[in-house]
A and B are shown apart, each in its own frame.
Chain A
Amino acid sequence: MSSYISSLIFVFILGGAVFYIGIRRRLFKRFNLYELVTIALFCSLLYIGGLPFKFGLSRIPFIHAFIYSIPFTALLFIGIRLVPKSGTATLIIFGSSLLSQVISRGINPLWWPYALFAGFALEFFFCFAEVILEVELMRWWRDY
């Protein structure tokens, strides 16, 4: 119980730091509808991206988690590059976690801080280094 509470406090501190740096450096921008839908579709893609990775050994729990991290990371970073704004990483990770809870595992709010932690860690790096994986692809796609 104490380890859970301490991890919760850590998530709050990390989230606070992200918000503080983000607001101070004016990194937060509003998402438009197109970006929100793109993030939503990437939440779904994270769920089905592991489809080719369903083979013999990958069905064993720990090996599955290890192998599944390959498509997860790849899709997450493509998503961040397509919507290069602060908050995209958190929305994609938290959204996909909530999606899997709604569909298969069942809603359990005690698991939410773990997804938030993963998102905040990435956001913290982006905010701190002031590096968002920007790419011209999104602009090109809008013009297309």
Chain B
Amino acid sequence: MKYISKATFFHRLDPRTKILMSLICACLVVILDTPLSLFSLSIVLFAVFLSIKPPLSYIRIIIYLMGTTMIAAVISQGFFYYFEPRTPIFTVVPSNTRFFGNLTGGIYFYKEGVIYGAIQSMRIFSATLLSMVIVVSTYPSDLILGLKKLGIPEKLGFIITVSIRFLPTLGEEAKRILIAQKLRGLRLKGICGALNGFRFLLQPLIIDSLRKAKRIALAAEVRGFTGKRVEIRSLRFLWADRVVLFIAFLTMLFVIRKMFCP
């Protein structure tokens, strides 16, 4: 998923608000432990996701992800749920079957496992949804600026900025090298082909990266990177940001109070 420029409420929010909201939501995902509360959180986040007006293909991806995660978690936990008490819904291999029964002690599908699987899948789903809201509604450089304002070290911010700037360039370069190697007869099918391709890709790509690193470092030095820096774009923390953060924080406090001081 990529950033999509739209004029929605979440697009207008400050990146810092979105990052802090993601932190609060992540805490909620961990704290909440009943199917109903997690289902409510998922529904709220899905509504937030729809409010940023994503394309139909993104909604399809979300529904596909949600479905597969839910089915996989419910089935796997249903069969492999370990904690007691557990109530079998149906039996796949009875414990008195000659070989497999003795070996496995019987294979059952447990009711508690199904509930646990549903809870876990809704946790994953909620975390994924808010992450996608952030990715779709925030431009990557604004996100980095927000992280810097929140106290991420300057050097780490610089590393991420340079990485994002040169990711498409390096990606294009890697594709070009692979095409050139294919034209020279390299076969990329299967694991052996992939390893071969990687071997022939690595050398030119790293040498080119080192050349680029030298040029970038020189350019940054010339522009006074190591001196005092100013930024062209500045972030503004508006009233909407304060209100959203206040509501999110209150919700978290309410949930914590409800969970730990009933």
Contacts and interface: CB of A to CB of B under 8 A. Distances in A.
Contacts of A45: 170, 205-206, 209
Given A45-B205, A94-B156, A106-B22, A40 B131 contact: no
A107 B166 contact: no
Contact of B156 (A82, A98, A107, A141): A98
Interface of B: 1, 18-19, 22-23, 26-27, 30-31, 127-128, 130-135, 140, 143-144, 147, 155-156, 158-164, 166-167, 170-171, 174-175, 178, 188-191, 193-195, 197-198, 201-202, 205-206, 209-210, 212-214, 216-217, 220-221, 225-226
A5 B256 CA distance: 16
B159 A95 contact: yes
Given A33-B225, A107-B131, A141-B210, A102 B167 contact: no
A37 B216 contact: yes
A55 B190 contact: yes
A94 B157 CA distance: 12
Interface stretch (A9-17, A18-26, A70-78): A70-78
A86 to B, nearest CB: 14
A52 B188 CA distance: 7
A36 B158 contact: yes
Given A34-B214, A49-B202, A95-B160, 4 more contacts: A33-B220, A45-B209, A106-B128, A110-B26
Contact of A47 (B128, B144, B167): B167
Contacts of B209: 38, 41-42, 45
A108 interface: yes
A95 B132 CA distance: 20
Contacts of B194: 52-53, 55, 58, 67
Nearest to A43: B163
Contacts of B159: 36, 39-40, 43, 91, 95
B26 A41 contact: no
A42 B132 CA distance: 25
Contacts of B213: 34, 37-38, 40-41
A31 B178 CA distance: 33
Q: 4 smallest A-B Cβ distances: which pairs?
A: A106-B131, A52-B197, A40-B162, A34-B217
